[in-house]
Amino acid sequence: MADVVFVCVREDIDRAEALAQMFAEGGCTIHEGGFNSAALCLSGAAVVVWSKLAAKSSGFLCAAERAVAEGKAVFACFSEAPPAIGELPSFDLRNWNGDPKSEDLNLLFFTVDRLAALNRDDLACEDSEGLPLADGWTAALPSTPIREHPKLAPARVVALKAEAVV
């Protein structure tokens, strides 16, 4: 399972790679393949790289909506954010200089890292239920997690529309 998967258009690959470098240097694992349902399901967070060109791509908008529906979307905005995202985590990176070590990325990093950790813990709990214990284990193990993590609120349905961006 990767901590972070990126949703972007081809023209924003350089930006996504610089952000991925920042996350990797911070200890996060990055999904290396293309974006698909399996990658989203197995990731902890999805960084949606929003730009003027991305806003015009129906494929990108569909992928972004899936990330929002899964409750894993964090928007890295390189143009004005769509008004529909409202309360979803979004970060204005229009003035970012492209340096993956920039302090301007700290809040983005911590938001994505926290979301990835919460989702990783939820997946680990789901995966461990119903599995038989290895033969070598004889101790009575708790059948429920010792510490419950707060569940994320259900994701809002956000309809992102392709707009003519000037």
CATH for 49: 3.40.50.10140
Average confidence score pLDDT of the chain? 82
pLDDT(31) > 90: yes
The tokens describing 29, both together, are 């694992």
In a domain, 19, yes or no: yes
pLDDT(116) > 70: yes
In a domain, 27, yes or no: yes
pLDDT, average across residues 128-148:
49
Domain tally for the chain? 1
Sign of CA dihedral 95, 96, 102, 108: positive
Residue 102 is predicted with a pLDDT of: 92
In a domain, 159, yes or no: no
In a domain, 102, yes or no: yes
Summarize pLDDT for 15-29 with one digit per residue, the tens. 999 999 999 999 999
In a domain, 138, yes or no: no
- pLDDT band, very low/low/confident/very high, at 136 (cuts 50, 70, 90): very low
Residue 105 is predicted with a pLDDT of: 95
Range of the domain at 28: 4-127
pTM for the model: 0.73
In a domain, 136, yes or no: no
In a domain, 141, yes or no: no
In a domain, 161, yes or no: no
The upper half-sphere exposure of residue 20, i.e. CA atoms within 13 Å in the direction of its Cβ, equals 20
